[in-house]
Amino acid sequence: MRSRSLAALLLSSVAFITACSSRPETTDGAAVADYIFTNGKVYTVNPEQEWAEAVAVDGNTIVFVGDSAGAMEFAGEGVVVTDLEGRLLLPGFVESHIHLAVGGATTSGVILNTTDSIEDVLGKVQAYADEHPEKETLFGASYFAGLFDSNGPNKALLDEIVPDRSVYLMDHTLHAVWVNSKALEVAGITKETPNPAGGEYVRDDNGEATGAIKGGPAHIPVSVAIGAITAESMASSLPEVIEALSEFGFTSAIDMGAPIATSEAYQALYDLSKAGEMPLRLSVTYYVNTPDLAEAAVETLDGYAKQYRTKTLWFDTLKVSGDSVIENQKAAMLDPYLSTGDTGSLYFDREALGKMVLDAAALGYNATVHTIGDRATRTALQVAGDLREAGYDTLYSTTHSQMVHPDDRQMYVDFDVTAQTTGNWAVVQRSYADHLSEEVIQTRQFPFRWWLDNDVNVALGADWPATPGGFEDGVHPFNNIYSAMHRAAPPGKEAILGSEPGTVLGPEDQIMSLAEAIEAYTLGGARMLGIEDQVGSIEVGKKADLILLDQNLFEIEPKAIPNTKVITTMFDGKVVHDFVYHLGDAEPADTEAFEALTLQRIGQPE
């Protein structure tokens, strides 16, 4: 049984009263709060009242933000008062880029990570094959993309250990795949199989597929043909994944879609939300990455939006892949790759992307575009201009927003585009040096400071499972905050995040402050989702999504930020988590500190 803090044990044991009409009142007629938090350092992310000492919560709503004396005016029979003893209280985090169902699938099969060597990967595959003789297809993720040169891995290594069953291994970006000969055979990939737009079956000098597959349009059909990722594997891990998000302090998120078993994935999310088993406000996108999907993209999104909706789950955004990733040299660049001599490829040109975006806007739907390469970013921003010129004010964002040519930055301002991005990616990636010039690497990536200085909305998110570090280190909000503040990986986390110790991604002046990083993880994400009137800051009238930390980020050395734990997570006025760390059980970092929390029940009988 998982250890629980005294705070969570007491808070979660309190009967939760939601019928305001039957609630007792204070002497001045105000409703009695369910919870009062006093004597804290409350960072509200509200520019009109940045700091407070206390918060009162009635039902699922914040009813007071101010000093402790003022909060106690909401005290009455049954209220739970928590003395925070100076601890930091924040709004719940908003995860602005995650793939919940696909992530659930990657927690099954062969579990790989970015520190595995080729020998480690092969050893894990062999062990899994021996342990599961019944499986016709062996699936695994996420080996480090930089293990191989631009030609990618070769099927021969896998054939030696598993010759008679399909093997399908995804790299840490999930944009490149390593398969064996059996998988190619079952999927029908031959010399005559054409490369789809945005994808490639890497071939040898004789035209034979080598087993390296680049880009979703090429590897997703193989996955479907061999049954590498199933609806069951995605759904079975969802409750654990969602619980882990609560442990990290996330109370809202945007799911960026499932390109495989799409309907089943969305049904699983809907079922959890409908049953009240998903403590998360979740915006779900419809994901488009091939011309076939593009043909009916808006119609399909509209169908999902009407079919799947609860109080805390909704569809309102079209998500389109503009390109692939740098690791497989398929991100659409303005300058040629050093390793291949080409410039990658766009999944959709300006006309095709624009048609989808404007058709979605005509029905009131928002759009977000995956952009890694600077050519993809330019194209997405040009489409934003087309959207605004057509008179639509629907929400629009570039997601990842990695490579941005300096000449294109102003379009974020002119066309009201949110820059969704990832702190942990804004580090020196050791695999990039073989593919891009130092000038491109150091001057075009993640212009945080420019965006913030020019009032561009910035939203932080991890892109799990397509990110270095897996769930434990890649989704970890305090790793991401540290990286955004330093453009370097947290000390000791360099290898797992694909970087090198002692390196800083230029330009060094493009860092965020701590306060800006927190806002990007709260109010910035809420703006991207269009729910900033409900969440993202601690204000009277907003939902009671709150997180309590074990240390004050504003008072510690920055190097200690990644060690931060979330003691308690409150979602919609209910305590849903006590201790935090990763998937599975977690022991508290400082038992004495947790148990020192002082709680009292007011007006209850002995």
pLDDT at residue 284 tops 60: yes
Q: Quick one: how far is CA 113 from the chain centroid?
A: 18
Give the Cα separation of 279 and 264 in Å (integer): 20
The pLDDT > 90 percentage for the chain reads 81
22/507: higher pLDDT? 507
pLDDT value, residue 160 = 97
Dihedral class, residue 364 (left if φ above 0, else alpha if ψ from -120 to 50, else beta)? left
Residue type, 460: L
Q: Taking residues 190-198, what's their average pLDDT?
A: 92
Q: How far is CA 555 from CA 41, 58, 482, 551, 594, in A?
A: 11, 30, 14, 8, 18
What is the Cα–Cα distance from 312 to 531, expressed in whole angstroms? Answer: 11
- In angstroms, the CA 99 to CA 107 distance is 12
Looking at residue 601, its pLDDT comes to 60
Q: How far apart are CA 38 and CA 41, in angstroms?
A: 9
pLDDT of 547 above 50: yes
Q: Report pLDDT for 596.
A: 46
pLDDT of residue 28: 56
pLDDT of residue 176: 93
DSSP 194: P
pLDDT above 50 for 18: no
Q: Which helix (H) or strand (E) holds 240?
A: helix 238-247
As given in the structure block, the two tokens for residue 113 are: 């990570």
pLDDT at 520: 98
Query: What would the mean pLDDT of 569-593 be, rounded to a whole number?
Result: 58
Mean pLDDT computed over every residue of the chain: 90
pLDDT digits (tens, 9 = 90+) for 196-229: 988 999 999 999 999 999 998 999 999 999 999 8
Question: With 50 as the cut, is the pLDDT of residue 3 above it?
Answer: no
- For the cut 80, the answer to whether the pLDDT of residue 589 exceeds it is no
- Of the candidates 98, 95, 236, the residue with the CA atom closest to the CA atom of residue 569: 95
Task: Calculate mean pLDDT across residues 568-589.
Answer: 63
Sign of the C-alpha dihedral, residues 252, 258, 261, 262? positive
Q: What percentage of residues in the chain have a pLDDT greater than 70? A: 90
Give the whole-angstrom CA distance, residue 522 versus residue 91.
Answer: 7
pLDDT value of residue 579: 52
Residue 2 is predicted with a pLDDT of 32
Strands (E), 146-301: 166-171, 176-179, 200-203, 209-214, 250-255, 281-288
Tokens 């009162």 belong to which residue? 56
Average pLDDT score over residue span 337-352 = 96
Give the pLDDT confidence of 95-154 residue by residue, as tens digits: 999 999 888 888 888 999 889 999 999 999 999 999 999 999 999 998 999 899 889 999
Q: Any bridge partners for residue 419, and if so which?
A: 398, 458
Q: What is the pLDDT of residue 386?
A: 98
Q: Bigger pLDDT: 137 or 237? A: 137
Decide if 399 contacts 528 (C-beta within 8 A): no
Whether the model clears a pTM of 0.75, i.e. scores above it, the answer is yes
Instruction: Tokens for 144, please give them.
Output: 């480090």
Is 111 in contact with 582 (CB distance < 8 Å)? no
**Residue 415 φ/ψ, nearest 5 degrees:** -115, 15
**Residue ranges of domains in the chain, CATH in brackets:** 6-92+536-601 (2.30.40.10), 109-226 (3.10.310.70), 237-529 (3.20.20.140)
Euclidean distance between CA atoms 463 and 424, whole angstroms: 10
Pick from 2-11, 42-51, 238-247, 338-347: least confident: 2-11
Q: Residue 38, SS3?
A: strand
Question: What confidence score (pLDDT) does residue 197 get?
Answer: 84
Condensed to tens digits (0 to 9), the pLDDT of residues 412-467 reads: 999 999 999 999 999 999 889 999 999 999 999 999 999 999 999 999 999 999 99
Pair 148, 157: CB distance under 8 Å: no
d(CA 514, CA 519): 9
Above 70 in pLDDT, residue 585?
no
Single out the residue of 379, 307, 313, 301 nearest to residue 346, CA to CA.
Answer: 379
Lowest mean pLDDT among 231-235, 253-257, 290-294, 597-601: 597-601
What are the tens digits of pLDDT across the range 70-90? 999 999 988 989 999 999 999
For 294-335, the pLDDT digits (tens) are 999 999 999 999 999 999 999 999 999 999 999 999 999 999
Place 30 in a pLDDT band, splitting at 50, 70 and 90: low
Nearest to 463 by CA among 196, 146, 168, 142: 142
The answer to whether the Cα torsion of 464, 467, 470, 475 is positive or negative is negative
